[in-house]
């Protein structure tokens, strides 16, 4: 195998790689030029050709300048050569744990006449790519008991793999059939051919080294002298990166074009069908993370079978939507996860890694960070979350001095009830049509919850999401997967807001299933029709925001040491799913949680899990599909009539006390 064929894209990639290497050679020539001039001057002086005061001064100046430039160039070259390139967070797949998968990939490489990947890893994302891990820093085997990194196949002690690592999106293995996975991986595996070419490999190593050198220059925690030296190295690295940026981009495009051209002869017709599954899998994965996994992560629990949940979510979609009925027939074929010896173990490792990347959870389980099965999700996550939110809501009302049950003398008047919330939010001055100020609540408006030092009540404690250096030239950014036309053709099986990755509706978290989509629509509509909630709702929403911010600030940070992983985990989450929730969304979630608690305690309702909409309220075994707009009517308009009518219809007693945590 030559490693690079006669494809037009391969020739373009090689020419661009040579252009990158020429830039490296020119930089080396510039670094050697002062020393070369000094050598010429010294040689002229020794042969009595260049004598005199001027030449003596020139020899001294050029000798010193040449030595300084050589030392600086040596330092830059040393940093570029030894800096550790970024590695994408993945889950290792040993050959003994997936022999059928390795056999399929090698057979595919033989059919494409390219080198086989040196190892296989999984990523909790709907994407696949080749990643170069030939740097010596990536050579040591992973630590015992850690599955979120890969440095080659386990059991192999080679420090430099011969070919790139094949990274596969874990949702593909569970949702796709074996033939579909092979068709999708064909153009990816075909990229090992151009990657094996010496010129392209050298150009990639140079670019990755420069990228790593820039990251070294921006690392904190150094003394001023070292920091100044690293800043100089980073400046030179950035200058070289700008010089070869266009050539490197065109080189990668040429590699991708060559790989796609070579893969056309392998399962081309099946790959067109498989691309539809790529779009569908991405839509289901995005929905599962934002509607189902995120509420559990916020509760300190991480679902241990996320990939299996994707299958359940998309199967539920095929049952609901007639546009997806054709996909249900695929379930009789062999799934790609059968290529793994222990799919449950791999799924658990990928689920934990997803929690780290998208939420910032710890690397290992503990008392405050434990797995949860799907069977336990309704009781362990949904019910507990609703009661925690209800308890927080009543705690804020207590701090504001709101009476428990106005106008009653019942012995249980001190118990938390839904009537207290309804009465407070539907107070007459809340529905007054006089215009209110749209300025955010001042800290003094929620003085019972804290002092002015707590900051404005509408400031949420969003987790820091610093820049990462995970981007490589071998793959697109994992948090922005490309959407193909075939994927867009499959995506309409979901509603419009479901197929838009950027439209993660925070209100869906903790709201009953079947109402999350409505909540999203009503919330977006409310943004224009009700720019600001007013009166008691505005004050209560600001107080809830401040209380939640204090709770998040008091939570201990979960972070491992930087040396424990080959990727930077000091700024987790690397890919946060959602922006901080607004005050109105927080208030809506808490009122909904209080309603759900009252339904469970007084009407025999039960918490449930909907694979597409997340937490759901089950009344008489059916999902409450019309609760969200009634809660929004109370929160935004101060009108409790729709919600009270729904409570009466559902047999819920708002005056009865509810159980909190």
The pLDDT tens digits of the residues spanning 570-612 come to 456 666 666 677 888 899 999 999 999 999 999 999 999 999 8
Do 490 and 601 touch, CB atoms closer than 8 A? no
* CA-wise closest residue to 150 among 111, 176, 183, 123: 123
Q: Residue 187's pLDDT is what?
A: 92
Taking 80 as the threshold, does the pLDDT of residue 230 lie above it?
yes
Burial category of 621 from C-beta neighbours within 10 Å (exposed 0-12, middle 13-18, buried 19 and up)? exposed
Helices and strands per DSSP (H, E), number in the chain: 22, 9
pLDDT at 329 over 90: no
Kindly tell me if the per-residue pLDDT of 318 is higher than 70: yes
- Alpha-carbon distance 460 to 451, whole Å? 16
Q: What is the pLDDT of residue 413?
A: 55
Once rounded to an integer, what is the mean pLDDT over residues 120-131?
A: 93
Per-residue pLDDT, averaged over 283-310, amounts to: 92
Predicted pLDDT at 479: 37
pLDDT at 84: 84
Distance in angstroms between the alpha carbons of the first and the last residue of the chain: 65
- In a 10 Å sphere around its CB, with 0-12 CB exposed, 13-18 middle and 19+ buried, how is residue 269 labelled? exposed
Bridge partners of 371, per DSSP, are 302
This model's pTM is above 0.75: no
122 φ/ψ angles, rounded to the nearest 5 degrees: -115, 145
Q: How high is the pLDDT of residue 134? A: 77
Q: Report the distance separating Cα 516 and Cα 510, nearest Å.
A: 9
Instruction: Using pLDDT thresholds of 50, 70 and 90, give the confidence band for residue 107.
Output: very high
Instruction: Quote the CA–CA distance of 350 and 488 in Å, as a whole number.
Output: 26
Checking if the pLDDT of 125 tops 60, the result is: yes
pLDDT value of position 323: 52
Given this model, what pLDDT does residue 401 score?
A: 84
Supply 191's token pair: 């990229």
Instruction: Report residue 481's pLDDT band, with 50, 70 and 90 as the boundaries.
Output: very low
* pLDDT score of 326: 57
pLDDT at site 552: 78
Q: Is the pLDDT of residue 69 over 90?
A: yes
Percent of the chain surpassing pLDDT 70:
71
**Lowest-confidence region among 196-210, 357-371, 427-441, 488-502:** 488-502
Q: What is the C-alpha to C-alpha distance for residues 382 and 387, in angstroms, rounded to an integer? A: 9
Confidence category of residue 414, pLDDT binned at 50, 70, 90? low
pLDDT band, very low/low/confident/very high, at 364 (cuts 50, 70, 90): confident
- pLDDT over 90, % of the chain: 42
Contact 554, 346 (CB under 8 A): no
Q: Looking at 123-127, 303-307, 445-449, 578-582, which range is the least confident one?
A: 445-449
Nearest-CA neighbor of 546 among 489, 618, 461?
Answer: 461
Residue 660: closest CA among 300, 450, 377, 420: 420
pLDDT at 25 over 90: yes
Mean pLDDT of the chain: 77
Q: pLDDT: is 140 or 405 the higher one? A: 405
How far apart are alpha carbons 476 and 479 in whole angstroms?
A: 9
- Nearest to residue 316, comparing CAs of 517, 611, 607? 611
Position 503 pLDDT exceeds 80: no
> At residue 269, does pLDDT exceed 90?
no
Question: Residue 637's pLDDT is what?
Answer: 87
The tokens describing 163, both together, are 């070919």
- Sheet with 622-623, strands from edge to edge, namely 606-610, 614-619, 622-623
How are beta strands 606-610 and 301-303 bridged, if at all? unpaired
| pLDDT for 512 | 46
Pairing mode of beta strands 606-610, 165-169? unpaired
Is 131 strand, coil or helix? strand
What DSSP assignment string belongs to 345-401?
Answer: HHHHHHHHHHHHHHT---SS-BTTBEEE-TTTHIIIIIIHHHHHHHHHHHHHHHHTT
In this prediction, residue 464 carries a pLDDT of 35
Structure confidence by residue, pLDDT tens digits, 30-64: 999 999 999 999 988 888 788 888 888 999 999 99
Burial annotation 477-512 (CB, 10 A radius, 16+ → b, else e): ebbebeeeebbeebbebbeebbbebeebbbbbbbbb
Tokens in use for 582? 């607004």
pLDDT for the residue 435: 38
């Amino acid at each position: 195998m030559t490693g690079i064929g006669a494809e037009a894209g391969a020739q373009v990639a090689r020419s661009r790689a040579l252009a990158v290497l020429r830039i490296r050679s020119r930089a080396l020539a510039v670094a050697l030029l002062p020393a070369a001039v000094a050598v010429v001057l010294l040689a002229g002086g020794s042969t009595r050709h260049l004598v005199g005061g001027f030449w003596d001064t020139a020899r001294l100046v050029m000798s010193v300048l040449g030595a300084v430039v050589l030392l600086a160039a040596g330092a830059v070259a040393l940093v570029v050569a030894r800096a550790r390139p970024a590695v994408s967070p993945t889950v290792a797949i040993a050959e003994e744990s997936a022999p059928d998968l390795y056999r399929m990939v090698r057979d595919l490489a033989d059919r494409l006449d390219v080198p086989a990947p040196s190892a296989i890893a999984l990523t909790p994302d709907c994407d696949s790519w080749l990643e170069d891990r030939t740097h010596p820093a990536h050579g040591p085997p992973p630590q015992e008991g850690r599955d979120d990194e890969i440095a080659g196949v386990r059991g192999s002690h080679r420090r430099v793999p011969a070919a790139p690592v094949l990274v596969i999106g874990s949702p593909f293995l569970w949702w796709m059939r074996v033939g579909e996975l092979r068709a999708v991986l064909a153009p990816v595996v075909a990229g090992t051919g151009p990657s094996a070419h010496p010129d392209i490999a050298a150009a990639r190593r140079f670019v990755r080294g420069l990228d790593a050198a820039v990251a070294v220059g921006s690392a904190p925690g150094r003394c001023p002298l070292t920091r100044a030296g690293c800043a100089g190295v980073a400046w030179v690295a950035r200058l070289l990166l700008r010089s070869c940026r266009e050539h490197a981009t065109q080189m990668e495009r040429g590699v991708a074009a060559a790989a796609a051209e070579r893969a056309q002869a392998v399962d081309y017709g099946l790959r067109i069908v498989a691309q539809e599954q790529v779009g569908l899998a991405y839509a289901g994965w995005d929905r599962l993370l934002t509607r189902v996994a995120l509420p559990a992560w916020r509760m300190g629990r991480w679902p241990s079978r996320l990939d299996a949940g994707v299958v359940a979510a998309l199967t539920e979609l095929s049952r609901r939507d007639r546009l997806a009925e054709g996909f249900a027939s695929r379930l009789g074929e062999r799934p790609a996860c059968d290529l793994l010896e222990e799919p449950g173990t791999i799924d658990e490792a990928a689920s934990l890694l997803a929690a780290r990347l998208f939420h910032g959870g710890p690397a290992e389980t503990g008392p405050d960070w434990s797995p949860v099965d799907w069977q336990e999700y309704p009781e362990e996550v949904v019910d507990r979350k609703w009661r925690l939110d209800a308890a927080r809501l009543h705690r804020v009302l207590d701090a504001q001095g709101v009476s428990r049950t106005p106008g009653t003398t019942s012995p249980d008047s001190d118990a938390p009830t839904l009537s207290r919330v309804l009465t407070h939010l539907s107070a007459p001055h809340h529905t007054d049509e006089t215009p209110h100020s749209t300025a955010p609540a001042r800290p003094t408006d929620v003085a019972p919850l804290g002092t002015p030092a707590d900051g404005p009540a509408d400031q949420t404690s969003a987790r820091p999401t610093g820049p990462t250096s995970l981007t490589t030239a071998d793959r697109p950014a994992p948090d922005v997967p490309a959407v193909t036309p075939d994927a867009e053709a499959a995506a309409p099986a979901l509603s419009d807001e479901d197929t838009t990755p950027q439209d993660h509706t925070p209100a869906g978290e903790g709201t009953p299933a079947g109402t999350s989509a409505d909540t999203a629509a009503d919330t977006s509509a409310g943004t224009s029709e009700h720019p600001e909630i007013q009166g008691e709702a505005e004050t209560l929403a600001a107080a809830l925001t401040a209380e939640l911010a204090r709770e998040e600030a008091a939570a201990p940070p979960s972070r491992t040491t930087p040396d424990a992983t080959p990727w930077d985990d000091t700024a987790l989450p690397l890919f946060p799913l959602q922006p901080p929730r607004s005050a109105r969304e927080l208030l809506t979630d808490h009122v909904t949680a209080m309603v759900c608690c009252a339904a469970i305690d007084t009407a025999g309702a039960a918490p449930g899990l909907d694979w597409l909409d997340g937490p759901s309220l089950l009344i008489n075994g059916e999902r409450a599909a019309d609760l969200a707009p009634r809660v929004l009517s109370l929160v935004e308009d101060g009108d409790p009539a729709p919600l009270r009518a729904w409570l009466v219809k559902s047999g819920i007693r708002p005056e009865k006390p509810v159980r909190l945590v």
